[in-house]
Structure 1
Amino acid sequence: MASLLQRSFPRTPSPLSTGERIRRGHTGANYKTNNPWNSIYQFSRPHTVIGTVFSIISVSLLAVEKMSDLNPLFFTTLLQAVIAALLMNTYVVGLNQLTDIDIDKVNKPYLPLASGEYSVGTGAMIVTSSLIMSFWLGWVVGSWPLFVALFVHFVLGTAYSINFPLLRWKRSPVAAAMCILIVRALSNPTAYFLNMQIHVYERPVVFPRSLILATAVMTFFSIVIALFKDIPDIDGDKLFGIQSFTVRMGQKRVFWICISLLEMAYVVAILVGSISPGLWNKVITVLGHAVLATTLWARAKSLDLKSKAAITSFYMFIWKLFYAEYLLIPFVRIFAYGPGRSSHQPPRWPRPYGEAAVGLAGASGRSPSLLPVRDAQQTNVRRNCYYLFTTRKSMADELPGSRDNGYT
């Protein structure tokens, strides 16, 4: 299968001869380290590995309602999900490197395939084995949310990179951004939360406010990552005809669009935190995002857009902000609700008088007359409101003896 994969992804033809690339310093030969651990490290794209681990742990914790939920099954399932996701991540980033070898010799000459440390056959073997093991683990675990997350990542990651008709969506800036947005902001947070909620705890499908906030903020982050990743790669993209937003609009304009989007995301998070219940929720959400927004703005103002090294460093800084956001999300879940009440429990709306009376009596095992006065008063209010909008018939006629048992 590896040989088939290798034949299916021919290198993109380079408009530069080998001698010209060497003269311009575009080969990766000078980046060889002969260090196998460094090669594995670079091939896996460590910033995506860290982002994947942080996101899965963070959204998995959103399903925890009480300390007893942190049981061995939780940690076992979490480990399985992380390993399966990292294997799929290796497939996606490896496939992208296989199809972009000549482009990476310009943009990222330190990568193993671009530098020549890995042959195309070695890269194809790593990519194929990672894909097979990821799907195998997802199938063995038996969690449909986990398998769906892996499948979505596989489909979009393949469509993003592979050089087949109607595919290689990275050539379209909109399609490329949508691939990253769907995986990072929609599919992964939702699926890995439901992996715990349904597969581990066997609870109904719910979408707590903290998950909705995470999805909203990560939508901004995903768009920014999709746009910003092409800013330092503008030379190679121009050379090989990749019409990214940076190529079309220029580095400076795309850079400030990215900064504006992130600041908007932080404003949204601060507003949500300011109106959320609980003091700790307000403090952590508002203060945490205010610090991140201020730090981002200060670094953006001092960035030299003419330095590729500075732009690349800033791109890694955006990923650190991405990690920090996932560190904040579990705290929003923990402090957003008072003790004894789960974020997944629906509000207790008033019920019709009959259901309320039977429910109160049945729950206590006593007659309604023995219920606390407060409960009796609440039931009386519900009963009268219900009858006001349904019938003019007296409640005393409907419940015999109700005038004698504390209901009126």
Structure 2
Amino acid sequence: MSNDSIGKSWIERENGEAPQSWVRAFWEFSRPHTIVGTTLSVLALYAIAQSNRLLVNPVFLPLAFAWLACICGNIYIVGLNQLEDVEIDKINKPYLPIASGAFSRKTGEVIVVSTGILAVLIALFQGPFLLATVGVSLAIGTAYSLPPIRLKRFPFWAALCIFTVRGAIVNLGLFLHFNWVLSLSRAKSIFSDWSLNSVSFEIPPEVWVLTVFVVVFTVAIAIFKDIPDMEGDKQYNITTFTIELGKPAVFNLSRWVLTVCYLGANGAAAVLLSSVNLVFFVAAHLAALGLMWFWSFKVDLDDSKAITDFYQFIWKLFFLEYLIFPAACWLG
């Protein structure tokens, strides 16, 4: 559930043209990189919640509903951002459906309203933790994009929105939801008594470490994401760290934030995470950190494609984290 920008999708890169079909336009509208991130976060938190249960009580239907609620919320947030940024996107991301004309504004509005309502209704039928996770995420996403608040105008508040949702709310909320569902062996809707007597509210150390890691990581994403969008943001008076500090400063700051993130996670694992496979955990993070620095040295800040490619790589590292953490838990 994010408002992040990213470079051209695989559709445009492969075909050399903007998507024509409704399905492809909808895929673009949903911002595929955020869909992948949301999907991996849902699966990872479920796997971590299951890691101490050895699949004693697998509950796959509530997992599917939680995923669907989060995906609908994701589409609402990124779609609302596109509805409010049409003129900016015509400069920064002209391949997006509304900016390119593949979708009319009315079509975008219908999708945004429909997915927002679906996200809340599905969560309502799945329990209080999922409802709180989805509800707070939608509220922050709305405040991020929609006037008169429109927090994306301010770099600090824009970054705070992104890492609060991606980092704290999604990870803690989904873990509590799955922990509660697994303890019941099913979800309980608003119509079947939201009893919380059988669930522990304790958050295990691995979830706290993952949450802090993702919060810090999304700080890097939040400050880096505006480098490719500098021209459009400047023209429409959107203040960003890139405009205030310049490309080199933001690029270097992002690299060092990611470095602190990876080294901090390894240090925390050595001290706090007795239940994970420490060798795998540390080795995976050092390998990811090394790849990040290796690629970063090859980036030409005057080449917009190189900047966009590196930003896509940062997102791939983000995706990888939701594989490393549950794998380390299951191997521990």
State the TM bucket, normalised to the shorter chain.
0.7 to 0.9
Distance 2:128 2:212 in 1: 24
Q: Which runs of 5+ in 2 are unaligned?
A: 1-15, 184-197
Distance 1:280 1:239 in 2: 49
Counterpart selection for 1:46 from 23, 27, 32: 32
Counterpart selection for 2:133 from 141, 149, 155: 149
Amino acid at match of 2:90: K
For the 8 Å contact 1:273–1:281, the answer to whether it is kept is: no
- Counterpart position of 1:86: 71
Amino acid at match of 1:289: H
Amino acid at match of 2:302: K
Distance 1:228 1:300 in 2: 13
Question: 1:384-399 counterparts in 2 under 5 A?
Answer: none
- Counterpart position of 1:363: none
Counterpart selection for 1:220 from 216, 219, 237: 216
**1:299 and 2:284 are equivalent in the alignment:** no
Indicate the structure (1 or 2) with the bigger Cα radius of gyration: 1
**1:36 and 2:18 are equivalent in the alignment:** no
Distance 2:76 2:130 in 1: 16
Query: Deviations 1:227-255 (Å, cap 9, x if unpaired)?
Result: 11101000101111111000100011001
Q: Give, in angstroms, the shift of residue 66 of structure 1.
A: 2.2
**1:286 and 2:282 are equivalent in the alignment:** yes
- Counterpart position of 1:180: 162
Query: Deviations 1:102-140 (Å, cap 9, x if unpaired)?
Result: 000000000000000111001000101111111111112
Q: Give, in angstroms, the shift of residue 275 of structure 1.
A: 4.1
Counterpart selection for 1:191 from 150, 155, 173: 173
Question: 1:223-302 counterparts in 2 under 5 A?
Answer: 223-275=219-271, 281-302=277-298
**1:122 and 2:86 are equivalent in the alignment:** no
SS of alignment partner, residue 49 of structure 2: coil
For the 8 Å contact 1:220–1:265, the answer to whether it is kept is: yes
Counterpart selection for 2:313 from 314, 317, 321: 317
SS of alignment partner, residue 293 of structure 1: helix
Query: Deviations 1:273-302 (Å, cap 9, x if unpaired)?
Result: 334676971211110001000000000111
Query: Deviations 1:187-245 (Å, cap 9, x if unpaired)?
Result: 00001000011233143111111101101111111111111110100010111111100
- Counterpart position of 1:162: 146
Distance 1:285 1:232 in 2: 32
- Counterpart position of 1:55: 41
Q: Aligned residue pairs: how many? A: 302
Distance 1:277 1:310 in 2: 37
- Counterpart position of 1:8: none
- Counterpart position of 2:56: 69
Q: Cα 1:68–1:238, aligned 2, differ >3 Å: closer, same or farther?
A: closer
Amino acid at match of 2:46: S
- Counterpart position of 1:398: none
For the 8 Å contact 2:73–2:115, the answer to whether it is kept is: yes
**How high is the TM-score relative to the length of structure 2?**
0.87
SS of alignment partner, residue 277 of structure 2: helix
Distance 1:188 1:144 in 2: 14
Distance 2:275 2:172 in 1: 27
- Counterpart position of 2:194: none
Q: Give, in angstroms, the shift of residue 59 of structure 1.
A: 1.3
Q: Which runs of 5+ in 1 are unaligned?
A: 1-29, 337-408
**How high is the TM-score relative to the length of structure 1?**
0.72
Amino acid at match of 2:140: L
* CA-based RMSD: 1.6
